[in-house]
Structure 1
């Protein structure tokens, strides 16, 4: 199979910096997916489970062709499950040239491409990547601008601007919302997000992601101050309350 890939595709020597890969991911898009975690992120999310992806100078340098060669080893699993390839991070749109060439090469091989992004990017950078993107997982971490800034340390507006652009271009999207008790779960915040998303005709589903402490050990190892160490994951009732708000706006919800 690798030889077939090399013959049929002019594999790009475009390089990018990645943190790691997950060869058989099941939570970052449909089916079984080859997931690439890119290096570098402009956000400083309080609950980030990949704080070791922050710095663009970290990780390792890879070429598009190297990644494609590895992906081909899992092609049978990907195809049989209706899966594909997902690029997440970090923030993939910090490396638009690399992700563009990678997705272009993936689509040439008939692989479904998914971009998982915070949306904190110039539209011009995102446009290049979106030419070769089949699905966008757009993380809208809050609809209240003050809460959003508290969570991420950056502005909400670029994310909303990208959401509107995806709708304008009718690029399929899933909206992701991390539910953090005492931080993002206020009724007004969730209601505002649900109302906004309900007007986007390209959105196929909303994913409620319950907060967890699985990345806390990384913060400790890196010497970072993890401010949410005493926050408990949401209860089933808290998740259902948020889910019900989205459902009232006619949205398909997964949690």
Structure 2
């Protein structure tokens, strides 16, 4: 049984086409800008069977078209890799396209098996500078880089995702470091720039938590354009979500 936080139908920002997004409960990162802070705690959520998820996917299949499918997000979905495997198998048996949106911090035998049934990995790179990564999410980026290398070795298609937070992850040197590191990875199909927003800030009040990035402004068009032009030097496709 998967511990599911919630579902989103008709998602258009979590992989190709129109998708059913399954948000799993629990995360091992504490991103300062997290838009889903209610998914961080491992407690809570709803135990959900593979049969329930397959049934929901079949009901929504007419909307998927040729490119759509399901995306497992969170939270951090690979924390539940063991429980995810039978769900992925059942979905693949029905021919569904599958993405997983991950911070890349988990790599074990269960994750490796789960990846066999995943078509595209949406890999969230928080920061290339390890010190600033720790300040932003509470731990280093070594595990994420290790998973990224493994995905390259097995030639698993990857879409990199990068949240551009003013004064936290928008330094041109850090962006260049990301490009230098990943620019030669043949399995990376695109890089998605995720503009920083405050959409989840109200949830912190409900949880009794303090939103740590209060006062940090949204990106200007100029900031987004500068990041786009820099990344375009390294990756064949760059988009701003």
Report the TM range for the smaller structure's normalisation: over 0.9
Write the mapping of 1:48-197 to structure 2, written as runs, cut at 5 A. 48-78=34-64, 80-197=65-182
Structure with larger Rg: 1
Asked if the contact 1:31–1:84 (Cα under 8 Å) also holds between the matched residues in 2, the reply is: yes
State the alpha-carbon separation in 1 of the partners of residues 185 and 132 from structure 2. Answer: 22
Could you list the runs of 5+ residues in structure 2 that have no partner in the other structure?
Answer: none
**Runs of 4+ displaced beyond 2 Å:** 122-125
Extract unaligned runs of 5+ from structure 1. Answer: 1-14
Residues 32 and 81, structure 1, Cα contact 8 Å, conserved in 2: no
Asked whether the equivalents of residues 190 and 235 of structure 2 are also in contact (C-alpha less than 8 Å), the reply is no
Q: 1:247 to 1:26 in 2, by over 3 A?
A: same
> Quick one: which of 195, 202, 213 aligns to 2:187?
202
**What is the 5 A alignment of 1:20-35?**
20-35=6-21
State TM-score, norm by structure 2: 0.97
The verdict on how the C-alpha distance between 1:250 and 1:21 changes in structure 2, with shifts beyond 3 A counting, is closer
Alignment partners' CA distance in 2, 1:250 and 1:83: 23
Contact 1:88 1:115 in 2 (8 A): yes
Contact 1:179 1:210 in 2 (8 A): yes
Q: Does 1:38 align with 2:24?
A: yes
Contact kept? 1:38, 1:92, Cα under 8 Å: yes
Inter-partner Cα distance in structure 1 for 2:113 and 2:25: 19
Q: Per the alignment, in what secondary structure is the counterpart of residue 35 of structure 1? A: strand
Residues 44, 153 of structure 1: 8 Å contact kept: yes
Residue 197 of structure 2: aligned partner:
212
Post-superposition shift, 1:251? 3.4
TM-score by length of 1: 0.92
* 8 Å contact from structure 1 (residues 198, 251) kept in 2: no
Partner residue, 1:19:
5
Task: For 1:222 and 1:81, locate their aligned partners in 2 and report how far apart those are by CA, in whole Å.
Answer: 40
CA contact (8 A) 1:123 1:162 kept: no
RMSD of aligned alpha carbons: 1.0
